[in-house]
Amino acid sequence: MFRSLLSSIKQKYTRRGVVLMYHRIATPLSDPWELSVSPEHFEEHLKVLKAYHVISIKELADILGNKRRMATNTAIITFDDGYRDNYLAGKPLLEKYNLPATFFIPTNSIGEQQEFWWDALERICLQSPNLPDKLILEQPDNISWDIGNSGNMVSPADLYLNLCVILRKMPATQQQTFIKTLETWANNTNNRPEYFTMDKKELLDLQSGKLFTIGAHTMTHPFLPDFPYNYQKSEIQGGITHLEELTGNPIKYLAYPHGGRDQNTLDILAESGVGLAFTTDPQHFKADTDKLTIPRFQVGNWDGKTFEFHLNNWMRNNTLA
Ligand SMILES: [Zn+2]
């Protein structure tokens, strides 16, 4: 009796699991945030994962709620942002290997024929055939850049990073106006369909399969700590309500856009019906991990062997390896 209690306590505090975070299953021309995994590599990851204990998000909720014991080598698969390639390339492979996954969906982009701002910005800065050699911004601050690869010039890659910082702080309507201004400046206005998101029909088809769960990711994907309480609340609650109306199911799980949250965010979630919320902090979890700040590891475009190396490091140590 005493020994089994001791071993159960030991397991609770020593067994570790990892939550994996994917974004796109695709092979883009450039990928500044390393968000894409090729379909070939994704399949290699799933082959590796078959030897691990991959559980659904519901089972994770049971572990963190002390209703179920955690097995060794536990892993959870998640996807952020609802890209259509998740449906076209990810879903068939997950079904082939019978592995569960959760998809966190920002609701304002469902079925939109428009790139996310970070993808549009990548197209403008890194894919424009003839980028002008100067950008002058009067709004939000008076800044100008000389663009090029010599002396005091700013490279297109650095311009991209500078503009990311500016765009991330804006509300969504302002982001759209800003992107339109940049598109005109660069004479590059064609959104790329391979960067679009799943539509309603695809989301409903996704959730009709037993393996898949849909979770919230706000409405417009803001970096929540940059915004006041009421703005955060309408973004979080609006995203949940939209998905509940769409799917007919309660939405119990959420991922913070860009991993960002502050005390206001945590207070809002504590009052909502959300049971588990996920960050982008690269750490493993244990059975006593806080349910509203569950860490996740971003998976790179690695072959199976490299993926397994990282997975084992993540399981064993609390390192960034
Ligand atoms: Zn996201």
Tokens coding 5: 């209690």
Distance CA 87, CA 153 (A): 41
What number of CA atoms fall less than 13 Å from residue 59's CA on the CB side?
A: 18
Per-residue b or e along 206-230, where b marks 16 or more CB atoms closer than 10 Å to that residue's CB:
bbeeebbbbbbbbbbbbebeebeee
| Ligand 1 centroid, distance to 10 Cα (angstroms) | 35
| Ligand 1 centroid, distance to 255 Cα (angstroms) | 8
| Ligand 1 centroid, distance to 147 Cα (angstroms) | 29
Q: Residue 58: is it exposed, middle or buried by C-beta count within 10 angstroms (0-12/13-18/19+)?
A: middle
Fold of 10-112+194-316: TIM Barrel (3.20.20)
Q: Phi and psi at residue 237, in whole multiples of 5°?
A: -70, -40
| Ligand 1 centroid, distance to 109 Cα (angstroms) | 11
| Ligand 1 centroid, distance to 151 Cα (angstroms) | 35
| Ligand 1 centroid, distance to 39 Cα (angstroms) | 20
pLDDT for the residue numbered 321: 42
- The one-digit pLDDT tens for each residue of the chain (321 residues) are 666 777 666 655 678 999 999 999 999 988 988 999 999 999 999 999 999 999 999 999 999 999 999 999 999 999 999 999 999 999 999 999 999 999 999 999 999 999 999 999 999 999 998 899 999 988 777 888 899 888 788 999 999 999 999 999 999 999 999 999 999 999 999 999 999 999 999 999 999 989 999 999 999 999 999 999 999 999 999 999 999 999 999 999 999 999 999 999 999 999 998 999 999 999 999 999 999 999 999 999 999 999 999 999 999 865 444
| Ligand 1 centroid, distance to 133 Cα (angstroms) | 31
Cβ(225)–Cβ(168) below 8 Å = no
Task: Say which residues have a Cβ less than 8 Å from residue 313's Cβ, sequence separation at least 6.
Answer: 319, 321
| Ligand 1 centroid, distance to 36 Cα (angstroms) | 13
| Ligand 1 centroid, distance to 116 Cα (angstroms) | 10
| Ligand 1 centroid, distance to 213 Cα (angstroms) | 16
Beta pairing, strands 253-255 & 53-54: unpaired
pLDDT for the residue numbered 1: 61
Distance CA 236, CA 222 (A): 10
| Ligand 1 centroid, distance to 23 Cα (angstroms) | 8
| Ligand 1 centroid, distance to 242 Cα (angstroms) | 17
